[in-house]
Structures are given as C-alpha cells and as structure tokens.
A = this chain, B = another copy of it.
Amino acid sequence: MFRINENYLKLPGSYLFAEIKSRVAKYAAGHPGRELLRLGIGDATRPLAPAVVDAMKLAAGEMGEAATFRGYAPDYGYDFLREKIAEHDYRRRGVAMQPDDIFVSDGAKSDSGNIGDILSADNVVAICDPVYPVYADTNAMAGRAGDYGADGRWDRIVYMPCVPENNFVPELPDRAPDVIYLCYPNNPTGAAAGRGDLERWVGYALERGALILYDSAYEAYVTEPGVPRSIYEIEGAKGCAIEFRSFSKTAGFTGTRCAYTVVPKELVCGAGGGVGAAVAGGAGGASGAMGAGGSVAAGVSLNALWGRRQATKLNGVSYVVQRAAEAVYSEEGRKGCRAAVEYYMENASIILAGLKKAGFSAWGGVNAPYIWLKAPDGLSSWELFDLLLDRAGVIGTPGSGFGPHGEGFFRLTAFSSREDTQKAVERIAAAGLL
C-alpha cells in the first residue's frame, strides 16, 4: 500500500489570496458599477521591452528551421546567458563571478522551493516574520518545520520578527539556525538591508557554519546608493550564501519565466557528522560532477549538489525564453526594463508620499515596489482591508497573511497603472481613516 508524504497534511490552507478574492467578489456583487483599484498584486503589468519581444520572435523563427532548430538546452542554461549574467549582474558591479556558479531556471519560486532537496531534513531553519510564504511551506513539506500551531507558527522554525523598531531587518537569533532565509529588498515590508546588516549576517553565518539563502528578486528596485543588490557584495558571502535572482520583477518576466540561482563553487559543506565523502569540482562538468565515495577530503560542494539536482530533475529552460532573457542585457533591453522599473517606482513614491501626507505610518517604497502601512487606531489587517475596500474601493493585502508580526500592517504594491495608483492614494487619504 503506497503512502503519501504526510507532512503535506500539516500544511494550513493558503487562504490569503483566496480569502481576498472571495471578499472582493462579495463586495463587487453588492456594489455593481463601483470601480475597484487593485494594489494588492505583486505581478508585473508593464509590457516586455521591445528588444525582448524581438529576441523571442527571432528565436521562435529559428526553432522553425531545421538548420537553426535547438533541442535540449544545456542543463544549467546556455553559455550566452550565463556569461551575460555573470558580466552584467556581478562583474560590472565589482563582484567576481563565473558563469559556472550560475544555474538558469524557470523561476526563483521553483529554486527557493527546490533548494531544500539538497539539504538535510534535520536542519533548523530561520525565516523572517512577516515573510513570503514559500519558505515556510516548502520546509514544512520536507519535514523540516515540525508542527503547525494555533499561533500560526511551525514549532521547529525559528521566526525572526521584522518590525519598525528594527527597520524590518531582524536581529541575530539566539537559537542558532542552520539555514537562514533572507529577502532584501523585502517582500512584503519593502525594507532594504544595508551593508552593515548584511555584514553582520555573513559574519554570523560563517562563524556558526550556517547557510544563508538570499532572495534578491527585487534588486533592480534599489534606488539608494550604497544599498547592496547582492549578498556577494559582502566579503566572505561566497562561503556561506546561495542567491536567488529572477527576471520576473526586473524585466517583467512573471509570465515569461526565467530566473537564476547562484551557488558559488567556494560554498562547501563539511557534510555534518563527519561524512567526509567529497564531491569534486563544480557542476560545470555536467553529469560527471558527483561521485559517490570520492576522495577529495575538503567537503561537499553545494555547486555540485545543486548541479546534480538540476541535471536530474530539470531539462533546462526554453531556448526562446533564454534568448529573451539575454536581450534584457542588450542596450535597448536594459533601457526598456529600466523604464518599467522606474514607472513602478514612481508609483511607489506616489503611494508612500500620499500616505505620509495623509498621516499614515508607512515604510518601504524607496528600494522596493512594496509599501508597508500601519493600520491606524489599532485596526487589524483584515479590518483595514474591509474598510479600504468599502470606503476607497482599494484592494490591498492584509499584512497578517504574511505572518503573525504582519498583524496590524497592510501591503500596497506599485504594480498598478499610474492613473489607478494616483486615484487609490487620493481615495485612501479621503477615506476618513485617520
């Protein structure tokens, strides 16, 4: 008799967006003709840059001719793309990076979920609170989270509160975790981590032998000089951190699907418990990179482990999509993507300024497309949701949906149109909430 992975049965329903949808549907049914402004969605709305579209069309044409048709892509991405990434996203910003440290994939969500495959189920995991739900959910599926309590927390996960008092950058936890998820610029709070913050984390991880899983999906939204866009801007980070990057928010690829994960060859695990077996070399050597009972004594290369995982469970990313991603780095492509990011950040700035002018406490919106708003008068996140929907016709996301420390907060996003964004801010200010 086959058995399922019973960890799945412990998962709470992800009711956040379903609940939002249901409340909005009910409200809309009761208020026909009422214009609703959607500032809840974390999804690109601006079209792809013309250079990117042209590259896709060209690649599609190549796939239709025998002479230029492409079959299976290289497991870790085409060199043309891995080289562009290493050059533009790292080396030109002063961070040494080799193409074979980079693994191209269909999404940062896939990678940040799948990365757990190469880690022991015994690791203690630390996550921020509030946080993007995928980190906790995927660890729960792997049996790393323990049990889910009535307090909305998993009993084996270390939660790190992110609140106004610490500028939404957590303290170093006293219960030492093995694996630490950090996401900056942050979803949902919109906070950025400074160089000093990241130095503290890298130092802590190196000292304790912890692994940092760094999600920098929003790096393109950094506008303040000096704010790190990559964990690898910090000395020593290649020895303790994996970084997730995506074209989703940088280039509007949420529906096009391309991302990459950096697993530096310098990143080595002693394999705990003294399992001295070694995995030689990087994953660049394709399927030959792993060897059971190998003899290089230094430890296990995570680059080789991830390479093995990806080569076994993925068949590369669509050629057409990789050509589209490559075009993001062309001069025209960069201009186009930059224009979309600036459009969204102008929205963010309008929201932040408008809320502050109206007397709200609000954060984020400077280095991230998210604005994190304190619900006034001790309102709960869902109470504010209902009030904004009713009085302003504005749809946002209740902060409590991102974790217990999100209670009493509310997320607005910069991904709407300029017109809707302006209208939403005016309506919120006029809603008589303060």
Residues of A within 8 A of B (CB): 1-6, 8-18, 41, 43-50, 52-53, 56-57, 60-61, 63-66, 69-73, 106-107, 109-110, 113-114, 117-123, 134, 137-138, 141, 148, 178-179, 208-211, 248, 252, 254-257, 269-273, 275, 277, 279, 285-288, 290-293, 300, 302, 305, 308-309, 311-321, 324
Q: How far is the CA of A137 from the CA of B254 in the complex (A)?
A: 31
Chain B residue with the shortest CB-CB distance to A147: B292
Which residues of chain B come closer than 8 Å to A210, judged between CB atoms? 1-2
Chain B residue with the shortest CB-CB distance to A105: B106
Among B2, B41, B291, B293, point to the contact of A209 (Cβ < 8 A): B2
B123 touching A3, Cβ below 8 Å: yes
Chain B residue with the shortest CB-CB distance to A122: B3
B292 touching A12, Cβ below 8 Å: yes
Which residues of chain B come closer than 8 Å to A208, judged between CB atoms? 1
Q: How far is the CA of A315 from the CA of B313 in the complex (A)?
A: 16
Interface centre among A66, A179, A312 (most CB of B within 10 A): A312
A287 touching B137, Cβ below 8 Å: no
B13 touching A256, Cβ below 8 Å: no
Minimum CB–CB distance from A358 to chain B (whole Å) comes to 29
A308 touching B18, Cβ below 8 Å: no
Q: How far is the CA of A110 from the CA of B105 in the complex (A)?
A: 12
A18 touching B57, Cβ below 8 Å: no
A1 touching B209, Cβ below 8 Å: yes
B5 touching A120, Cβ below 8 Å: yes
21 A-B pairs with C-beta separation under 8 A = A2-B119, A3-B269, A4-B119, A4-B302, A5-B117, A6-B275, A8-B290, A8-B309, A10-B292, A15-B288, A17-B287, A48-B63, A57-B60, A57-B61, A60-B324, A73-B255, A107-B315, A113-B314, A141-B309, A254-B315, A257-B316
Among B9, B290, B324, point to the contact of A11 (Cβ < 8 A): B290
User: If the complex has contacts A107-B315, A109-B315, are A254 and B71 also in contact, measured as CB distance less than 8 A?
Assistant: yes
Minimum CB–CB distance from A127 to chain B (whole Å) comes to 15
Chain B residue with the shortest CB-CB distance to A415: B71
User: If the complex has contacts A45-B69, A137-B312, are A287 and B15 also in contact, measured as CB distance less than 8 A?
Assistant: yes
Interface centre among A6, A11, A47, A137 (most CB of B within 10 A): A47
Chain B residue with the shortest CB-CB distance to A41: B71
Q: How far is the CA of A11 from the CA of B118 in the complex (A)?
A: 13
